[in-house]
Amino acid sequence: MGRENADEAERRKQLQVVDTELAKQAETDWRLMYERVLNRIYGKEHHEAFDFLREAAELAIAKGEARYLLDKIEGDKNSALWKLSHGHDDSWHPIIEALEHNNSSLLKESHGGKHH
């Protein structure tokens, strides 16, 4: 059990290093924010993943690239991101709908996955 805890601590440390680098660059690029989403999912921090996905959607919509992000999400249907969507409809659907309609005001309906 001690080895598992050490492995988990090392994994979290590595994810934090990657996330810190992405955070510096992600403020204006939805692609990097999307990478932060995946980083959070693999780090098992699902609530933050929805927050980052919402931010990525806002950036993509603002840059006129909502379709690209939506295509990326739909292309990742077998990923942990898609699995995360199950059971979190109130967070997931507004994000997808905002991207489909290129309308960031729809993101306000998303609750950010702050429940479980």
| Residue 34: strand, helix, or coil | helix
Place of tokens 């690029």: 29
Q: Residue 113: what pLDDT? A: 40
Place of tokens 């959607």: 57
* 10-residue mean pLDDT series, the chain (116 residues): 69 72 70 76 71 89 94 79 75 91 85 43
Q: Residue 17: what pLDDT? A: 74
Q: Residue 101: what pLDDT? A: 96
pTM attached to this predicted model: 0.67
Who contacts 54 (Cβ-Cβ below 8 Å, separation ≥6)?
95, 107, 110, 112
Nearest to 37 by CA among 89, 92, 90: 92
* Distance between CA atoms of residues 45 and 66, nearest Å: 24
